[in-house]
Structure formats: structure tokens, C-alpha cells
A and B are shown apart, each in its own frame.
Chain A
Amino acid sequence: MDWMKILAAVAGVMMLFYLWPAYKHWSQNSPEAKPGDWQAVIFALGAVILLILLLISVVQS
């Protein structure tokens, strides 16, 4: 349905307007990462990726 696509697009644009001030604030005011901070994030997100791969193999079996 075309009007559903238009509605979804309107919602997406609205979301962008909502996100823009938050993006500006955090890109200017985010504190610097300390040594080891990015490794901690990569470790956590790596675990999430492994879990998703495991879940995919569960539904495929």
C-alpha cells in the first residue's frame, strides 16, 4: 500500500529530526574514550554477534 510507505517515510523523517539535536549534542560533548574502553565495547558486541549466530543455527536446525 502506497500510503503506508508514505506514512513510514514521514515517520522516518520525523525520527531524523528527533535524532539530529541528540547527535549534535553527543558528537560535541562526548567524553574521550579511555584506554581499554573500545576493547570493552568490541568484546560486548562480539559476544552479541556470536549469540546471534548461535540463534540462527538453532532455527536452521
Chain B
Amino acid sequence: MNQTNVSIARSPEQILSANKVLKNTYLLLSATLGFSALTAMISMGMNMPPMTYMIALIASMVLGIFVLPKTANSGTGIGVIFLITGLMGFGLGSVLSMYLALPKGPEIIATAFGGTGIIFLGLSGYALTSKRDFSFMGGFLFAGMMVLVIAMLANIFFEMPALSLAISAGVILVMSGFILFDTSRIARGEETNYIMATYGLYLSIFNIFISLLNLLTAFSGDD
């Protein structure tokens, strides 16, 4: 069998550049997560209605699709990513207020928060230490994401609790895959823009947290 093995050696400059992107990504990710927590607290303090979540999510999606890619190579991109994550945090605050009203609400939120942190740190650490190239997962992850979005669209109208749980479980697995995929791309120097890298990781963390909240609430018998 004819097999060609191509090995691509990276220069010290490329390794340094990848490390710089990785460091900047984690710094910006920490700052945006902190900012989201702040806007979530503001939203909870203001007692925002649940529909705030949907409105904030759509606004942040529009910014993420149309504005962020055009500004990610300039200083404006930093402002845009803070605006997006701030909006998502503000929307999340209204959902958290609903969960807090449940008997086990505070425990569920704390567990989902801790679980999300463990998943992110564990998978990122695994991708960095294993030094594997997880970009082979790209096609599967985007296909999985599209299937999940179609299932979500169907469930908006069918409102099946079992499908909602299956979607949440699927989102956690696909987003976990995206953490491996994104982290390995940053570490290997394939993603050179730390603002876009931050956005990808932030979305994975946000979606894991929301899905974990949904799963834990369903299985705690609180819903």
C-alpha cells in the first residue's frame, strides 16, 4: 500500500507565536467569563424576565456572525467580544433567577458551574498534554452541531421533554469535542486570532453550562 507520511516541523518562531495566542486566549477567556458573571448578576439584580435570555442570545448571535469576524483583527474586536459575552451573561442571569427559585436551585447551579469548570479544564489540559491533532474531528463536530440545531428547531414546536434531555446530552458531548478541537488548533498554531479562539471556547463553555443545568434539573426531580 502506498502511504505518504508528511511530517511538518514547526520553527521556534511558530511555536512561540502559538504559545502567545494560547496565553492571550486564556487571558481574554478569563476576562470575558468574569464580565459575563458580572452582567449575569446585574440581570439577576434587575429581575429580568425569562424572554431576556432569547433576545440577548439572538443579539449576541447576530454580533458573533456578522460583526466579530470583521473586527477580530483590530482593537475593536476586543470591545465586540466583551459586548457579546456581556449580552450572553445578561441573558443567562434571567435564566439563573428561574433556577434559583427551585428548591434545589442553588445546589444545581453550583454543581453545573463546577462541572463545567472541570470539563473545560480537563479537556483543555488533555488536548494540550496529549499534543494530538484533533482537527480530524472537524467534519463530525459541525455535522453533529447541525443535527442538534435541527433537533432543537423541531423541539421548539413539539416540546418533548425526552428530546430536550437528549439534545442537552448531545450538546455537552459535541461542545466537549469542540474544546478538544479548538484547543489543539490553537496549540498547533492553526488558529492565529485569539479573539476568535476565545469566542469559540466561550461558546463551548456557555453551552455546556446551560445544558448541564437542564440535565441536572431534570434528574434532580425539581422541574
Give chain A's interface residues, CB within 8 Å of chain B. Answer: 1, 4-5, 7-16, 18-20, 22-23, 25-34, 37, 40-41, 44-45, 47-49, 51-52, 55-56, 58-60
Given contacts A1-B51, A45-B176, contact A30 B139 (CB under 8 A): yes
B108 to chain A, nearest CB (A): 6
Contact B139 A27 (CB under 8 A): yes
Contact indicator A14/B176 (Cβ below 8 Å): no
Looking at chain B's contact residues, is the secondary structure mostly helix, strand, loop, or mixed? helix
Do A16 and B143 have beta carbons less than 8 Å apart? no
Mark interface residues in B142-180 (1 if CB within 8 Å of A CB, else 0): 110110011011001100000000000100110011001
Q: How far is the CA of A1 from the CA of B129 in the complex (A)?
A: 48
Measured as residues with beta carbon below 8 angstroms from the partner, the interface class of chain B is 35 or more
CB distance from A17 to the nearest CB of B (A): 9
In order of increasing CB-CB distance, the 4 nearest A-B pairs are A26-B138, A27-B139, A23-B142, A33-B136
Knowing A16-B149, A19-B142, the reply to whether A47 touches B156 (Cβ < 8 A) is no
Mask for B21-60, Cβ within 8 A of A = 1, else 0?
A: 0000000000000000000000000000001001101100
Separation of A18 and B139 alpha carbons in the complex (Å)? 15
Q: In the complex, A35→B57 CA distance in Å?
A: 40
Q: A51-B118, A55-B212, A59-B216 are in contact. Are A18 and B141 (CB under 8 A)?
A: no
Residues of A within 8 A of B65 (CB): 14, 18
A contact residues around B54 at 8 Å (CB): 4, 7-8, 11
Do the beta carbons of B139 and A13 come within 8 Å of each other? no
Closest chain A CB from B140 CB (angstroms): 8
A12 lies within 8 A of B134 (CB): no
If A44-B126, A48-B119 touch, does A56 touch B215 (CB 8 Å cutoff)?
yes
Contact A23 B176 (CB under 8 A): no
Q: For A5, what are the chain B residues with a Cβ–Cβ distance below 8 Å?
A: 156-157
- Set A1, A12, A28, A58: member contacting B153, Cβ < 8 A: A12
Of A28, A41, A59, most buried by chain B (CB within 10 Å of CB) is: A59
Q: CA–CA, A19 to B138, complex, Å?
A: 12
Note all chain B residues with C-beta closer than 8 A to A34. Answer: 133, 136
A28 to B143, CA, bound (A): 12
Measured between alpha carbons, how far is A34 from B29 in the docked complex, in Å?
30
Assembled-state Cα–Cα distance A4/B173 (Å): 27
Given A31-B135, A56-B215: 6 more A-B contacts, CB < 8 Å: A4-B54, A19-B149, A23-B143, A55-B111, A55-B216, A59-B111
Residues of B within 8 A of A29 (CB): 138
Whether A41 lies near B137 (C-beta < 8 A) is yes
